[in-house]
Amino acid sequence: MPVHTDLRDGVAVLTLDNPPVNGLGLAIRRELVEALERAQGDSAIRAIVITGGGRVFSGGADIREFNRPESGQAPTLPTVIAEIERSSKPVIVAINGLALGGGLELALGAHYRVAVSDAQVGLPEVKLGILPGAGGTQRLPRAVGLETALNMIVSGAPVAASKLAGTRLFDRVVDADVVTAALVFANEIAQSGAALPRVRDWAIEHDNAEGFLAFSRAAVEAASAHYPAPLKCVDALAAAARLPFDAGIAFERDAFVALVNTPESRALRHAFFGERAAAKVADIGSEVKPRDVRKVGVIGAGTMGGGISMNFLNAGLPVTIVETGQEALDRGIATIRKNYENSVKKGKLSATQVEQRMALLTPTLSYDGLKDADLIIEAVFEDYAVKESVFRQLDTIAKSGAILASNTSTLDVDRIAAFTSRPQDVLGMHFFSPANVMKLLEVVRGAKTAKDVLATALALAKAIRKTAVVSGVCDGFIGNRMLEQYIRQAGFLLDEGALPQQVDRAMENFGFAMGPFRMGDLAGNDIGWAIRKRRYVEKPQMTYSRTADLLCERGRYGQKTGKGWYDYRAGDRAAHPSAEVEALIVQHSRDIELERREIGDEEIVERLVYALVNEGARILEEGVAAKASDIDIVYLAGYGFPPWRGGPMFHADTVGLYNVLGAMRRHARGYQGLAWTPAPLLLLLADAGKSFNA
């Protein structure tokens, strides 16, 4: 039974039982209505208490029902709430823990609410591009006031019950057992025989509601470009302030339906579910138990090794970090400390926390320090010879069962695994720079990687708050392999007539956090240069614009050399268009006898984004990514793809694959048209009228 009923001292206690978060699925809704009906007819029952089993009251809608017919099947949540509200016997909700979304809306339908002081309550719907659709926008302002309600609903952020004590939301906020407190309260109420209060009947009081709403609307509008939901939340609160309750509910309903169908909400929900789906791997069920990881080793204290170590220190895991020389080691440790101290300056960490984390870090020059590590992540130079020497040493030193991970960006993880006698324990853990900040972690599954090794990496990703996506072995894995095609198109556009600042502006207007050339300057153009030099030998058929090489030949590596695609000035990180680079690009077009033409922003966006899509389709058909949403999550979490567009594959689905293919065929007739050979999967899906994510 998803709802347990106990009779305690004349009070029916209904306990929601739908782990993990007591989501309000169809079975629970049905059972609640039936239990309420039974209680009405039972003369032994004077009052009803509703509470949550486990540590949560209710996380709201049952996400397993999303996009399934059950989610809309009666009794819907508004019906359940109406039943609670019209109960002839007092209904008291005992909030024992988290009450989010529909969970809080259900509580708002009760006559009384008692909460434990550290319970978090909130209406997070806006984060999925929608608004609370079961009366939340109308009842919450009546209970906590217009301003608090607006802040909660527009931000979606939860608030501790203790902070809302003293509002009409809670009749009591307690530190003791909340069900016991609710039972005491229920008996008092039942004895008093007072008329049952309904939140819907309360007035919203505010000295200047219209002024506050106008101000909020302007502020929210300025802060939420690209997202329609926050403004609709303000409008729904305005409806609560201005209209009778039922008219307000009707407004909320219409706004909800309108928002659910916006591309922005579809994209945000796609990302929400995609992120959860990414953590599930088809052939790894719950029977595969992750290995225990209590001690971590990191090899290399450079750019990546330091940031990688911080992730584990932050999670309370001891890290031993190995370098080849004292100087590099000292530099690496100093950088970690400096990063932490910057967090102290920003008020994100206390000095004590910094010392606690630094105390977990053991710097050493000896591989012996890695003997008892359960996981060792290598972040040394990107070179097979160096990787080989590291992994051969690890093979002799690491304890049996230790997981050996490489942070390589481009090398073959299977070849690295073969440097050891235990390839089943080897995988890639590809962090992104800065590794202590960037959310994405590509977990690279080698041909021989054991299932429990993969499961361990996924579990660890969760522990260090990363978004993990599993990739098969290929050059560049999911993210960088696609990025290469995107960067190639950006280069071809320069040959044909565009300038870096125009390309960047077009991509940033599309919504990327940073255009390709600013990104190159940040990451260092020499990295791509080194990769291209390898490609010129390994894949001579792969063409690139020469402009990036010409740039590097002049030492313009990017921010680190003070000049790259742009000029940089001391003490200022702004990118200034460079006359030297413009001259270089224009001269290059002349050298290859290409007449420069005006290129529109639409073409720039299409070519860069569809280059991602086409390579993404190949990655999908090769099985390097298991599902299209994995690719989208990589781009959302690691490459600054605009969240309201849901990732490249979802974006292509939204445009329609037939249309995407049409555009690609157009581009195929232009300069470097061979780059536009459509992936067979794209042809297949477009022809069948299907989409990547269906």
Taking CB under 6 A as the criterion, which residues in 409-438 touch ligand NAD?
409, 431-433
Q: Which region among 355-363, 382-390, 590-598, 621-629 touches ligand NAD (by CB under 6 A)? A: 382-390
Q: Does 191 bind ligand NAD (CB under 6 A)?
A: no
- CB of 477 within 8 A of CB of 428? yes
**Distance from the Cα of residue 19 to its chain's centroid:** 23
Tell me: does residue 407 bind ligand NAD (CB under 6 A): yes
Q: Is 300 in the site for ligand NAD (CB under 6 A)?
A: yes
- Looking at 33, 149, 267, 299, which residue binds ligand NAD (CB under 6 A)? 299
CB of 441 to ligand NAD, least distance (A): 10
Q: Is 369 exposed, middle or buried (0-12, 13-18, 19+ CB in 10 A)?
A: middle
Nearer to ligand NAD, 101 or 363 (CB): 363
On whether the CB atoms of residues 461 and 467 are closer than 8 A, the answer is yes
Q: Which of 104, 376, 390, 548 binds ligand NAD (CB under 6 A)?
A: 390
Q: How far is the CB of 30 from ligand NAD (least distance, A)?
A: 50
Residue 486 or 650 with smaller CB distance to ligand NAD: 486
Measured from the CB of residue 327, what is the shortest distance to ligand NAD in angstroms? 9
Q: Give the H/E segment covering residue 375.
A: strand 375-378
**Which of 436, 439, 450, 453 is closest to 379 using CA atoms?**
436
The greatest distance separating any two alpha carbons of the chain, rounded to the nearest whole angstrom, comes to 94
Closest approach of ligand NAD to the CB of residue 324, in Å: 5
Could you tell me the smallest distance in angstroms from the CB atom of residue 663 to ligand NAD?
31
Q: Exactly one of 71, 167, 187, 303 binds ligand NAD (CB under 6 A); which one?
A: 303
CB-CB contact of 494 with 591 (8 Å): no
**Is 125 a known active-site residue?**
yes
Find the binder of ligand NAD among 73, 208, 324, 356 (CB under 6 A).
324
- In angstroms, give the least distance from the CB of 434 to ligand NAD: 8
**105 catalytic, yes or no?**
yes
| 3-state secondary structure labels for all residues of 600-639 | CHHHHHHHHHHHHHHHHHHHHHCCCCCCHHHHHHHHHHHC
Q: Which is nearer to ligand NAD, 22 or 409 (CB)?
A: 409
* DSSP 3-state of 194: coil
Closest residue to ligand NAD, judged by C-beta, is 302
Among 49, 380, 470, 617, binds ligand NAD (CB under 6 A): 380
Quote the DSSP letter at residue 291. P
Q: At what angle do helices 477-496 and 516-523 cross, to 10 degrees?
A: 120
SS3 143: helix
Active-site pick, 31, 83, 125, 606: 125
For ligand NAD, which is the closer residue by CB, 300 or 515? Answer: 300
Please tell me which residue in 31, 83, 85, 105 is annotated as part of the active site: 105
Give the one residue of 381, 384, 536, 658 binding ligand NAD; rule: CB under 6 A. 381
Nearest to ligand NAD of 328, 418 (CB atom): 328
> Shortest Cβ distance from residue 364 to ligand NAD (Å)?
10
Q: Exactly one of 58, 216, 309, 408 binds ligand NAD (CB under 6 A); which one?
A: 408
Q: Give me the 494-533 binding string for ligand NAD, x by CB under 6 A, dash otherwise.
A: -----------------------------x----------
Pick the piece of the chain touching ligand NAD (CB under 6 A) from 269-277, 340-348, 380-388, 657-665.
380-388
The amino acid present at 169, given as its one-letter code, is L
* Structure token digits, residue 73: 């099947």
Listed in sequence order, the residues at least 6 apart from 456 whose beta carbon sits closer than 8 Å to its beta carbon are 290, 291, 293, 375, 403
Q: Are strands 112-116 and 159-160 parallel, antiparallel or unpaired?
A: unpaired
Smallest separation (angstroms) from ligand NAD to the CB of 678: 30
How far does CA 452 lie from the centroid of its chain? 25
Interface with ligand NAD, residue 304, by CB under 6 A: yes
CA dist., res. 21 & res. 19, Å (int) = 5
Q: Which residues contact 336 (CB under 8 A, 6 or more apart)?
A: 306, 309, 310, 313, 358, 361
* Binders of ligand NAD in range 438-477 (CB under 6 A): none
Among 184, 243, 288, 386, binds ligand NAD (CB under 6 A): 386
301 binds ligand NAD (CB under 6 A): yes
Is position 302 an interface residue for ligand NAD (rule: CB under 6 A)? yes
The span of 118-126, 246-254, 375-383, 651-659 binding ligand NAD (CB under 6 A) equals 375-383
CA 491/CA 552 separation, integer angstroms: 14
Size of residue set near ligand NAD by CB under 6 A: 25
Q: Which is nearer to ligand NAD, 376 or 620 (CB)?
A: 376
The residues facing 361 across adjacent strands are 319
**Smaller CB distance to ligand NAD: residue 1 or 334?**
334
User: How far is residue 50's CA from residue 47's CA, in Å, rounded to a whole number?
Assistant: 10
Measured from the CB of residue 436, what is the shortest distance to ligand NAD in angstroms?
Answer: 12
Cα distance between residue 330 and residue 314, in whole Å: 20
Phi and psi torsions of 361, nearest 5°: -100, 125
* Tokens matching residue 445: 């599954």
The interface mask with ligand NAD, positions 658-687, x = CB under 6 A, is: ------------------------------
Provide φ and ψ at 459, rounded to 5°.
Answer: -65, -40
Interface with ligand NAD in residues 476-495 (CB under 6 A): none
Closest approach of Cβ 399 to ligand NAD, in Å? Answer: 19
Report the alpha-carbon distance of residue 370 to residue 403 in Å, rounded. Answer: 12
The span from the CA of 356 to the CA of 260, in Å, is: 45
CB-nearer residue toward ligand NAD: 29 or 387: 387
Taking each helix axis as running N to C, give the angle between helix 648-655 and helix 263-278, from 0 to 180 degrees, rounded to the nearest 10. Answer: 140
- How far is the C-alpha of 554 from the C-alpha of 563, rounded, in Å? 10
Closest to 647 measured CA to CA, from 666, 633, 626: 633
Which residues, 6+ apart, have CB-to-CB distance to 280 below 8 Å?
A: none
In the complex, the smallest distance separating the C-beta of residue 405 from ligand NAD, rounded to whole angstroms, is 11
Residue 379 or 609 with smaller CB distance to ligand NAD = 379
Which amino acid, 239? A
Coil, strand, or helix at residue 438?
coil
Query: Using CB under 6 A, which of the segments 21-29, 184-192, 233-241, 300-308 binds ligand NAD?
Result: 300-308
Catalytic site residues?
105, 125
Which residues make up the interface to ligand NAD (CB under 6 A)? 299-305, 322-324, 328, 379-382, 386, 389-390, 407-409, 431-433, 523
